[in-house]
Homo-oligomer: A and B are copies of this chain.
């Protein structure tokens, strides 16, 4: 087994201030990554993002976009027209984050079958070897 990794901070309680955790806690929710992905090709309006994802509720999209904006991953531009028009666009920060996630996405696409196979093949420990 290779160990493609620098040592994690030694000692105890590394979860709290760990930057990866802080980033992943946001990106790792149900929708953030997906929103970043659909925004990657081009700037989109609220409804366009919603349509692109399909099964996200208005509430969660709004909330997710707000958080992404807050963390500096997307910009929110309001045009004072009627009806209102709001555009969301990846920032450089968001783009650079997404670039690091790209390999992960490719990996997931390539290895998803293997993971699913592992899940299917899995037998829980101590089945008590019944009959």
Contacts and interface: CB of A to CB of B under 8 A. Distances in A.
A41 B119 CA distance: 25
Interface residues of A, number: 77
Interface in A84-131: 89-93, 95-109, 111-112, 114-115, 117-119, 122, 124-125
Specify how many copies of this chain sit in the oligomer: 2
Contact of A52 (B8, B102, B103): B8
Contacts of A54: 11-15
Nearest to A76: B125
A97 B70 contact: no
B111 A96 contact: yes
Interface string A45-66: 0000001111110000000001
A4 B95 contact: yes
A99 B19 contact: no
A56 B122 CA distance: 25
Contacts of A70: 118-119, 122
3 closest Cβ contacts across the A-B interface? A28-B28, A72-B118, A12-B54
